[in-house]
């Protein structure tokens, strides 16, 4: 099948895409064979370009809306993807700013850090998370608070607060706890923010790649909409 061969996929994959509604339903010949047109080819090109740009779920959502003729719903889904990319970039900028503060502060100087240890409740309030979240981060070795000798209550010193703030920003950026724990261990080991900076560089490269993929996907989707007269 030419439609499958163009993209190096199986004929069954094309049938699955048709079944899932990400490309239009094919007409059948009297003998039962599917007949695909340039509209189907344009739809398949659009979907395969949308996947690296938006992911499988959103890409399928966009194409299902487009194939049923609901262009507004398709464009709204595209808009949500662009809005998410912008939020991710803003989060990355915030993390880099936090790292900048960390590296620029002279030894012993901790900007906007509490002058005494915080309890788990106080730190949770500061970060606008739940105490359960902080305990989960501790189990993952993201945080390493001390314990009060008498009450056994968790206590978070200035460095712990710094780690929690950086971890919170990284978590919002989509990093898994295992990755964040590795970064925190490296920072705590006095290797400096280099490992974190390298991690952020990779993150920015992934965001740039997604942005470029969105440009390609937009062109393919526009081609499909034009070909299908939508």
Comparing 7 with 208, which gets the higher pLDDT?
208
Q: How far is CA 216 from the centre of its chain?
A: 19
Phi, psi of 66 (to 5 degrees): -65, -45
pLDDT at 4: 80
Tokens of 16: 């699955």
By percentage, how much of the chain surpasses pLDDT 70?
A: 85
Residue 17 CB burial class (10 angstroms; 0-12, 13-18, ≥19):
buried
Contacts of 175 (CB under 8 A, 6+ apart): 199, 203
Q: In the predicted model, what is the mean pLDDT of the chain? A: 86
Task: Summarize the confidence of residues 138-149 as an average pLDDT.
Answer: 93
Query: Is the confidence at residue 56, as pLDDT, over 90?
Result: yes
Task: Summarize the confidence of residues 29-46 as an average pLDDT.
Answer: 91
Query: Is the confidence at residue 20, as pLDDT, over 60?
Result: yes
pLDDT at 109: 46
Query: Is the confidence at residue 170, as pLDDT, over 60?
Result: yes
Task: Summarize the confidence of residues 96-115 as an average pLDDT.
Answer: 58
> 180: pLDDT confidence band, cut at 50, 70 and 90?
confident
pLDDT at 195: 63
Query: At CA 183, angle to CA 91 and CA 146, rounded to 5?
Result: 105
Task: Summarize the confidence of residues 50-71 as an average pLDDT.
Answer: 96
d(CA 33, CA 35): 6
Instruction: Give the helix/strand (H/E) hosting 53.
Output: helix 38-54
pLDDT at 190: 47
Query: Is the confidence at residue 97, as pLDDT, over 70?
Result: no
d(CA 179, CA 169): 13
> 175: pLDDT confidence band, cut at 50, 70 and 90?
confident
Comparing 225 with 98, which gets the higher pLDDT?
225
d(CA 120, CA 93): 27
Q: How far is CA 214 from the centre of its chain?
A: 14
d(CA 106, CA 72): 53
Q: From the DSSP assignment, how many helices (H) and strands (E) are in the chain?
A: 10, 4
pLDDT at 213: 98
For residue 115, what are the CA distances in angstroms to 158, 190, 196, 207? 7, 22, 26, 37
What is the pTM assigned to this prediction? 0.66
């Amino acid at each position: 099948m030419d439609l499958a061969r163009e993209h190096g996929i199986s004929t069954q994959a094309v049938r699955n895409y048709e079944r899932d509604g990400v490309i239009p339903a094919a007409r059948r010949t009297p003998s039962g064979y599917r007949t695909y047109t340039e509209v189907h080819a344009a739809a398949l090109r659009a979907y395969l370009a949308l996947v690296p740009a938006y992911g499988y779920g959103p890409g399928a959502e966009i194409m299902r809306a487009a194939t049923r003729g609901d262009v507004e719903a398709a464009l709204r889904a595209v808009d949500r993807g662009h809005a998410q990319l912008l939020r991710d970039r803003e989060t990355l900028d915030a993390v880099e700013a936090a790292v900048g503060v960390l590296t620029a502060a002279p030894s012993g100087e901790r900007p906007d850090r509490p002058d005494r240890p915080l309890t788990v409740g106080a730190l949770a309030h500061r970060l606008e998370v739940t105490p359960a979240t902080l305990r989960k981060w501790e189990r993952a070795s993201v945080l390493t608070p001390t314990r009060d000798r008498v009450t056994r209550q968790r206590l978070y010193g200035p460095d712990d607060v710094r780690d929690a703030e950086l971890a919170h920003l990284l978590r919002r950026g989509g990093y898994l706890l295992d990755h964040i724990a590795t970064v925190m261990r490296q920072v705590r080991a006095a290797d400096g923010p280099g490992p974190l900076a390298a991690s952020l560089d990779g993150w920015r490269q992934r965001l740039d790649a997604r942005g470029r993929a969105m440009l390609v996907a937009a062109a393919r989707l526009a081609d499909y909409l034009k070909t299908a007269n939508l």
